């Protein structure tokens, strides 16, 4: 049986998974903007680490 994770490690895991989920959603949105009609987006602003 594995020892329980520390609170710090659990917070790190939650932060990392939230960032990855966010990145996937933003990439999907960006991809749909590129594939859509010219009227589908006027502007897409992405801000944050790595942007």
Pull the structure tokens for residue 37: 């009609």
* Residue 23: burial class (beta carbons within 10 Å; 0-12, 13-18, 19+): middle
- Provide the pLDDT for residue 44: 77
Asked if residue 13 is part of any domain, the answer here is yes
- Provide the pLDDT for residue 50: 65
Asked if residue 16 is part of any domain, the answer here is yes
- Provide the pLDDT for residue 32: 82
Asked if the model's pLDDT at residue 49 lies above 80, the reply is no
Asked if residue 44 is part of any domain, the answer here is no
Domain that holds residue 25: 7-36
Asked if the model's pLDDT at residue 8 lies above 80, the reply is yes
**3-state DSSP call for residue 48?**
coil
Mean pLDDT of 13-33: 76
User: How does residue 19 score in pLDDT terms, banded at 50, 70 and 90?
Assistant: low
- DSSP class of 2: P
């Amino acid at each position: 049986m594995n020892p329980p994770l520390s609170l710090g490690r659990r917070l790190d895991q939650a932060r990392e998974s939230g960032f990855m989920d966010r990145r996937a959603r933003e990439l999907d949105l960006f991809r749909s903007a590129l594939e859509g009609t010219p009227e589908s987006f006027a502007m897409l602003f992405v801000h944050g680490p790595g942007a």
